[in-house]
Structure 1
Amino acid sequence: MATCISWDEAREQLKKWREENARQSAETLELGEYVLLNHKKLGDEVWAVYEQVCIAALDVGDIEEAVGCIEALKTKFPQSKRVKRLQGMKLEAQGRFEDAKLVYDELLKEDPSNAMIRKRLVAILKAQDRIGDAIKELNRYLESFMADHEAWLELSDLYIQEQNYSKAAFCFEELIMSNPHNHLYHQRYAEIRYTQGGVESMEIARKYFAQAVKLNSNNIRALYGLFLASTHLASQQKASGKSKKDNTRYATWASQQLAHRYRLAERKEPEHQVLHLEKMIDSLQITPS
């Protein structure tokens, strides 16, 4: 990639990813190494690039590159807490979890409200497959940082690993309350309720799949979920005549929408895109990943 764009373009792309908090690790590492070849042109921005490249290097397992970045930052900022955090992350990447925890504990003594460090402790527990402890730590974190959407998403995933679907659903209820227009939150909540099974949960799943489609009519997964939930409810022996009729109507509408989007893709998209859509619809499962 670096050989295909100019130095200025590479610099702007790195800046854009920093502002968006994007984690394009492999691409960031390649562009960052390219930009740092002419680091004097960066001015003070060079330190932000070093930090960005360091994190990318740790993500892809390039410890040597990460160490070089840390040393450069440490020379410039010997007492920096951010540099100490990077040192802790390096220890994590090396599998030295207890050593990393000591670094983070020291940082938390200086600043107990440091959100990034507390999240690193959760990452350590996850890496050690201590899911129950990670859940406890993340719950403690959310007591202080309730507006952290990423933390709620992470907690939901941890509950799903433990097959505690009711608590995973609660996490998305919190997310939906704070961001009711995010169609993906409605879709994900519906998937969890669908997975729980039972008529009540299935009706809730259908409702939230429908809301996800209302918020974004191109959400194929929500459309398919609406079709499945409605079909399931329509097939229940105990369902009333009105319920069967309504759910059959919902399922029919959803299937028509899916067929319509398939035809559009077939006309407008390259053949490989159509095949991709076919496979996605054939294999789509409304179960949490």
Structure 2
Amino acid sequence: MSSSLLHPPSQLSPKVARHHSREAPNILGRSTGAISTSLFQSLLSAPETAELWTTYENLLLSCLRTADDKSAHECLGRLVNRFGNDNERIMALKGLLKEAAADDATTLNSVIKEYDQILQDNPTNIPILKRRAALLRSIGRTSESVTALTSLLDISPTDAEAWAELADQYFSQGLYSQAIFALEEVLVLQPNAWNIHARLGEVLFVSAKSSDNPGQLGEAIKRFSRSIELCDDYLRGYYGLKLTAKKLLSDPQKALQSRTGSEGFAIPDTATLSKLDEMATEKLAEIVRRSSAGERGWQGYDAAEIKAARELLENDSDTVIR
């Protein structure tokens, strides 16, 4: 059984998800006895493990991504047999299958009504609260989705996933200060999440451009630097660091004014910014070169990110990627 089935499918490439979906009948066929309700068959079957149920859930999600509804429903059936219809996570998975099968707005609205009914009986059903917020956003009811997320966080203020989703929704609406606050809350809960440090740097960079605030560029430098400190090969961290350093170097007078009057993280001096730009350039060139060559250990990068990094480097006349 593939070890990648023990990781959330949202982190898998479409290629891997398709592979899981194709293998679903074989995987389900090999493990049918594990969910048997018959005592005799259970004695003959493989023992139940947490990995087995994680595999079923993740296989269900991969099958939904590839429109293999039959296998998805079989996975759900096994989970229902084991955990029952009243399990909160099972309720959310059943709702997800209904969302995937819906072919019009009316059906999706009926799913929302079902979620509302469940929440009337149990207002603290976290999986259903999350599904409801996600569905509201997917059909364009963003303000209602934000309200749903803030209600969820009133119940569960340590839910880093909900804070991250809220930040993304705020950012999509141009509410940068709110997005920054939400991402800072994620980092309170997960201080070593290098991807969130980089994401916060990206939001700070965009916010600084819209408000002409060089001080936020200094904070972005800090976040991107922390990101690559935590993950030495994180492309987005180096990309953001180079972009921000170049932005500050392009207007040294404004950076100097912010440096002398900033109350937050001080913007590095020109020499330090140049070194950061050079380091980021070298690392991005290495990532692009080795990933494009298909070297072992350098193949996990998103193709669009590699393309963006290459274009950024090619715009830098001093950089040549061989």
Aligned to 1:139: 150
Contact residue 21 and residue 68 of structure 2 kept, 8 A: no
TM-score by structure 1 length? 0.75
- Give CA-to-partner distance per residue, 1:262-284, whole Å, 9 cap, x none: 676688938x979x687342345
Aligned to 1:13: 2
Identify which of 34, 37, 49 aligns with 2:26. 34
Indicate how the Cα distance of structure 1 residues 196 and 265 shifts in structure 2: closer, same or farther if over 3 A, else same: same
Mean Cα deviation higher: 36-45 or 46-55: 46-55
Indicate how the Cα distance of structure 1 residues 75 and 105 shifts in structure 2: closer, same or farther if over 3 A, else same: same
Contact residue 88 and residue 101 of structure 1 kept, 8 A: no
Mean Cα deviation higher: 37-46 or 154-163: 37-46
SS of aligned partner of 2:2:
helix
Mean Cα deviation higher: 90-99 or 133-142: 90-99
How much has 1:188 moved relative to structure 2?
0.9
Q: What is the alpha-carbon distance in structure 1 between the residues aligned to residue 122 and residue 135 of structure 2? A: 19
How much has 1:212 moved relative to structure 2?
1.5
SS of aligned partner of 2:269:
helix
How much has 1:186 moved relative to structure 2?
1.2
Identify which of 220, 231, 240 aligns with 1:216. 231
Aligned pairs (5 A) from 1:150-169: 150-169=161-180
Identify which of 151, 161, 183 aligns with 2:194. 183
Indicate how the Cα distance of structure 1 residues 278 and 34 shifts in structure 2: closer, same or farther if over 3 A, else same: closer
Contact residue 89 and residue 100 of structure 1 kept, 8 A: no
Contact residue 234 and residue 245 of structure 1 kept, 8 A: no
Aligned to 1:104: 115
Contact residue 104 and residue 121 of structure 1 kept, 8 A: yes
Aligned to 2:307: 279
- The alignment-based identity, stated in percent, is 25
Mean Cα deviation higher: 24-33 or 74-83: 74-83
TM-score by structure 2 length? 0.69
Unaligned runs of 5+ in 1: 1-11
How much has 1:130 moved relative to structure 2?
0.7
Amino acid at match of 2:239: Y
Aligned to 1:248: 274
Contact residue 85 and residue 103 of structure 1 kept, 8 A: no
How much has 1:158 moved relative to structure 2?
1.1
Contact residue 241 and residue 277 of structure 2 kept, 8 A: yes
Q: Does 1:117 align with 2:128?
A: yes
Q: What is the alpha-carbon distance in structure 2 between the residues aligned to residue 51 and residue 254 of structure 1? A: 39
Aligned length: 270
SS of aligned partner of 1:37:
helix
SS of aligned partner of 2:158:
coil
Indicate how the Cα distance of structure 1 residues 168 and 66 shifts in structure 2: closer, same or farther if over 3 A, else same: same
- Give CA-to-partner distance per residue, 1:20-61, whole Å, 9 cap, x none: 444555444333322333554334559946655544443433
Contact residue 224 and residue 238 of structure 2 kept, 8 A: yes
Aligned to 1:233: 248
Unaligned runs of 5+ in 2: 37-47, 258-267, 314-322
How much has 1:196 moved relative to structure 2?
1.2
- Give CA-to-partner distance per residue, 1:108-154, whole Å, 9 cap, x none: 23332211011111122012111111111111111222222221221
Contact residue 214 and residue 255 of structure 2 kept, 8 A: no
Q: What is the alpha-carbon distance in structure 2 between the residues aligned to residue 38 and residue 184 of structure 1? A: 37
Q: What is the alpha-carbon distance in structure 2 between the residues aligned to residue 51 and residue 128 of structure 1? A: 25
How much has 1:191 moved relative to structure 2?
0.8
